[in-house]
Amino acid sequence: MNRSLALIGLSLYIAGSCVLAYFFPQSVLAFLLVEGSLLLLYYTPVSGRVKSFFAALVLLVLLPILGFTNAYYFEIAIQIGIFVALALGLNIVVGFVGLLNLGFVAFYAIGAYLWAVFGSPQANQFIAGGWFPLSPNWFFVFLILSIAVGALTGILLGLPVLRLRGDYLAIVTLGFAEVVRALVNNLDKPINLTNGPKGIAPISKPPLFFKPVLEFFGVQVVDAALYPLYFYFLVLLLVFVIILVTRRLENSRVGRAWKAIREDEIAASAMGVPVVRMKLLGFAVGASFASAVGVLFAAKQVFINPESFTFMESIGVLAMVILGGMGSVPGAILGATGVTILNLQLLKGLSLWLNGLRQSGAVLSIPLLGDLSLANLPAQFEPAKYERMVFGLILIVMMIFRPQGILPPTQEPKK
Amino acid sequence: MALLELRDISKRFGGLQALSLVSMKIEEGMIASLIGPNGAGKTTLFNTLTGIYRPDQGEIRFKDRSLVGLKPESITGAGISRTFQNIRLFSHMSVLDNVLVGMHTRLDTSLVDIFLATKGFYAREKAARTRAEELIELTGLRGRENEWAQQLSYGEQRRLEIARALAAAPQLLLLDEPTAGMNASEAQSLMRLFRDVMGRYVKAILLIEHNMRVVMGVSHRVHVLDYGEKIAEGVPDEVRRDPRVIEAYLGTGDWLKNARS
């Protein structure tokens, strides 16, 4: 009885929010309600199969339809997907193995540059023959390749620093990320490998291999309109695979060994856990996720430069993992989604709204202080400038009142 | 042939000679105790045996294979596992997962098995879980499987450490003060557990213990350390009467003589 009520409520909520978003394509609030449906679904007391059905409905059918009313929805969804993938990768290193990594974005940059250099005319600068850019079909080869390259760089970073712990390791990873950034920033001389601070463009997009099929069915395809949808599904697929791999690792001897190392390294090794190998594996798996999603990012952006891979990006992903709840897969997903929505939609929306108020010359009546016309506010009070401050305040408040994160790992009964 | 043989083990920390020329043999089917005053080097000997420290000199042979220089995880793989004096459980993991970590060396699922979630993977996980539940039952922790280790009481945590050590399927079990902080009846039930475990799960037990009732009650053989040196060895009754042991624990007794005269 309770279950069917919950199901009806959930269906009504999803339908209602989608209708709202469909008819008010510019409304941030309506789209937030749609996004909220997934969170609601997570908490609805229904079986796993029903949950997967609803999640598939929302992600595979409803969101793509809404995306055609407002292409910005795709952009947001893709960004969320990218950060979810990064957060899940970092969650393995920080949340499972317990190694603080402040330079995670380096692996993301390595993946992005891997495809950017060879998927654009850039590689012609140092490989003669004019073979580049490689045909878009190579995108998928590079996606696989990036997993291997990411894993390898993860191990290369891991090997010399495994003896370090805690703060010391964090500093080394920070240094590593700065080295990677400085390299891509300066490797335009003597051989132009990365084109330095000018960045690389245009980067090939993945092939529209399904286009002939669509045309066969008489669908008129405009490439520019199709790409957002295409990237959306690519990101969705990548995130799905990453979640699957993470889940399986977590519930295997590897995941247990990782957590054991996090809890007590000496006890773990005394129980037969090969600490060095397991740490390297954690580094490798996390780095390969970031590297793969980097390839996707480069292809989506068409243009990348070292500015996309700053220290603040690493900290941002770390904040997502910590806000969501370290060591928890649902937590990392929620943290990444929440922070991305906050940055792209909520804080931007708040700024726009406040600016609108300012320009309309609204008057605030404050008792005792008299009337305050918002139009007279000096430019220093421009709300857009306070986005990061609001984000910072949220971090502070969260850490004081819920340091374990929104969805920390729980003691779930095992089946 | 002894299961474990130590020959002239020495270990020095700066100016402190923690162990000097300690030798001992542990035979199959034996519960041996290692006793001695605080700071005698008992835990150092355990740490040297399990690969946390490397001995400065001496030889450790287990089933006729040298263990010197091996990493802790390889020594566990070879068939020795231990508990810790100051409990070192994986606090934020479930009781079941704590025991399953102990099985790491006995679970040979490959990464491919894990990624593809093959039948073999599920079969091995299931077998491991069954065995873990058996050990949880044995140590009296049934019903607590899904709680975090940190939620257990002190005595339960001590027993979980034993279950975790047994999960590694050791032939030799090392217990570092298993009854510390326990009352008489808890210690009694733990002694019963040692006897249950012998033969069925392990071939020999070496325990460090301060509780003399436990030592005298379960040991076949007692080794006594003082200031890093082995000062006595024998069956419990011999050791109890050994003048060097009494001296190590109670002092020389000079003040007694002086007081009398």
Q: Hey, what are A177's tokens?
A: 């990320």
By Cβ distance, the residue of B50, B73, B92 closest to A273 is: B73
- Average pLDDT of chain A is 87
CB contact under 8 A, B121 and A252: yes
Task: State the Cα–Cα distance between residues A327 and A321, nearest whole angstrom.
Answer: 8
- The pLDDT score that the predictor gives to residue A378 is 67
Which chain B residues have a beta carbon less than 8 Å from that of A260?
90, 93, 101
Give the C-alpha distances (Å, rounded to integers) separating A16 from A9, A82, B133, B164: 10, 28, 48, 52
Model confidence over A196-227: pLDDT tens digits?
899 998 999 998 888 788 888 877 777 777 88
Q: In sequence order, what DSSP letters do the residues of chain B get, joined into one string? A: --SEEEEEEEEEETTEEEEEEEEEEE-TT-EEEEE-STTSSHHHHHHHHTTSS--SEEEEEETTEE-TT--HHHHHHHTEEE--SS----TTSBHHHHHHHHTGGG----HHHHHHT-HHHHHHHHHHHHHHHHHHHHTT-TT-TTSBGGGS-HHHHHHHHHHHHHHT--SEEEEESTTTT--HHHHHHHHHHHHHHBTTTBSEEEEE---HHHHHHH-SEEEEEETTEEEEEESHHHHHH-HHHHHHHH---HHHHHHH-
Which chain B residues have a beta carbon less than 8 Å from that of A411?
94, 146-148
CB contact under 8 A, B125 and A252: yes
Looking at the DSSP bridge assignments, the partners of residue B176 are B208
pLDDT band for position B54 (cuts 50, 70, 90): very high
Give the C-alpha distances (Å, rounded to integers) separating A378 from A357, A373, A374, A382, A391: 14, 11, 9, 8, 22
What's the mean pLDDT in B194-200? 90
Is it the case that residue B256 has pLDDT exceeding 60? no
Pairs of residues, one from chain A and one from chain B, whose beta carbons lie less than 8 Å apart: 98
Torsion from C-alpha of B214, B218, B222, B226, nearest 10 degrees: -20
The set of residues, in sequence order, having a beta carbon less than 8 Å from that of A68 and lying 6+ positions away, is none
Q: Hey, what are A33's tokens?
A: 């309600």
Q: Shortest Cα distance from B115 to chain A (angstroms)?
A: 6
Is it the case that residue B162 has pLDDT exceeding 90? yes
CB contact under 8 A, A263 and B96: no
CB contact under 8 A, A271 and B146: no
What's the mean pLDDT in B167-186? 91
Backbone angles phi, psi at B99, to 5 degrees: -70, -40
Residues forming CATH 3.40.50.300 domain(s) in chain B: 80-170+180-185
Cα angle vertex A330, ends A325, A331, to 5°?
20
* Residue that wins the pLDDT comparison between B34 and A214: B34
**CB B181 within 8 Å of CB B132:** no
* Residue that wins the pLDDT comparison between B86 and A215: B86
Q: Hey, what are B123's tokens?
A: 């079969």
Task: State the Cα–Cα distance between residues A97 and B198, nearest whole angstrom.
Answer: 35
How many CA atoms lie less than 13 Å away from B41 in the CB half-sphere?
26
By Cβ distance, the residue of A245, A270, A411 closest to B115 is: A245
Q: Hey, what are A117's tokens?
A: 């250099």
Each residue of A63-78: b (16+ CB within 10 Å) or e? bbebbeebebbbbbbb
- Measured between CA atoms, the residue of chain A closest to residue B125 is A252
Give the C-alpha distances (Å, rounded to integers) separating A147 from A114, A150, A290, A342: 11, 5, 8, 30
Backbone angles phi, psi at A79, to 5 degrees: -60, -45
The set of residues, in sequence order, having a beta carbon less than 8 Å from that of B62 and lying 6+ positions away, is B3, B4, B5, B75, B78, B79, B80, B172
Beta strands B172-176 and B204-208: pairing type? parallel
- Radius of gyration (C-alpha) of chain B in whole angstroms: 20
Which chain A residues have a beta carbon less than 8 Å from that of B92?
259, 263, 327, 409
Is it the case that residue A147 has pLDDT exceeding 80? yes
CB contact under 8 A, A249 and B114: yes
What's the mean pLDDT in B196-211? 92
Find where tokens 């298993």 sit. B178
pLDDT band for position A83 (cuts 50, 70, 90): very high
By Cβ distance, the residue of B82, B94, B100 closest to A270 is: B82
Q: Shortest Cα distance from A333 to chain B (angstroms)?
A: 20
Cα angle vertex B154, ends B151, B157, to 5°?
70
Is it the case that residue A412 has pLDDT exceeding 70? no
- The pLDDT score that the predictor gives to residue B111 is 86
- The pLDDT score that the predictor gives to residue B255 is 60
* Residue that wins the pLDDT comparison between A389 and A316: A316
- The pLDDT score that the predictor gives to residue A414 is 45
Mapped onto helix, strand or coil, the DSSP state of residue A332 is helix
Task: State the Cα–Cα distance between residues B5 and B104, nearest whole angstrom.
Answer: 26
By Cβ distance, the residue of A249, A256, A409 closest to B101 is: A256
> Of B2, B88, B86, which Cα lies nearest the Cα of B43?
B86
**CB B72 within 8 Å of CB B164:** no
- Edge-to-edge strand ranges of the sheet holding B31-35: B80-82, B172-176, B204-208, B31-35, B221-226, B229-234
B14: alpha, beta or left? (left if phi > 0; alpha if psi -120 to 50): left
Kindly state the DSSP code that residue A97 receives in the 8-state scheme: S
**CB A97 within 8 Å of CB A258:** yes
State whether ipTM is beyond 0.95.
Answer: no
Which chain B residues have a beta carbon less than 8 Å from that of A248?
114-115, 117
Which residues of B lie closer than 8 Å to A, measured between beta carbons? 50, 52, 71-73, 76-77, 81-82, 84, 88-94, 96-97, 100-105, 107, 109, 111, 114-115, 117, 121, 125, 128, 145-148, 164-165, 167-168
Task: State the Cα–Cα distance between residues A99 and A158, nearest whole angstrom.
Answer: 10
Helix H segments across A302-328?
Answer: 311-324
What's the mean pLDDT in B17-38? 92
Mapped onto helix, strand or coil, the DSSP state of residue A370 is strand
What's the mean pLDDT in A253-262? 95
Model confidence over B103-151: pLDDT tens digits?
998 888 888 888 888 888 999 999 999 999 999 999 999 999 999 999 9
- Edge-to-edge strand ranges of the sheet holding B16-26: B16-26, B4-13, B57-62, B65-66
- The pLDDT score that the predictor gives to residue A133 is 85
pLDDT band for position A415 (cuts 50, 70, 90): very low
Peptide bond into A378 cis (omega under 30): no
Which chain A residues have a beta carbon less than 8 Å from that of B168?
271-272
- The pLDDT score that the predictor gives to residue B257 is 60
Q: In sequence order, what DSSP letters do the residues of A99-168 get, joined into one string? A: ---S-THHHHHHHHHHHHHHTSGGGGGTSTT---SPPTTHHHHHHHHHHHHHHHHHHHHHHHHTT--HHH
By Cβ distance, the residue of B82, B97, B104 closest to A273 is: B104
CB contact under 8 A, A267 and B89: yes
By Cβ distance, the residue of A252, A256, A266 closest to B88 is: A266
Backbone angles phi, psi at B52, to 5 degrees: -70, -40
Looking at the DSSP bridge assignments, the partners of residue B224 are B35, B232
Which chain B residues have a beta carbon less than 8 Å from that of A415?
none
Which residue type occupies A314? S
B250-257 long-range contacts (CB < 8 A, ≥24 apart) are: none
H-helix or E-strand spanning residue A364 = strand A363-366
Superfamily, domain B80-170+180-185: P-loop containing nucleotide triphosphate hydrolases (3.40.50.300)
Task: State the Cα–Cα distance between residues A337 and A331, nearest whole angstrom.
Answer: 10
Model confidence over A316-372: pLDDT tens digits?
999 999 999 999 999 999 999 999 988 888 877 777 777 777 777 777 777 776 776
Task: State the Cα–Cα distance between residues A55 and A37, nearest whole angstrom.
Answer: 9
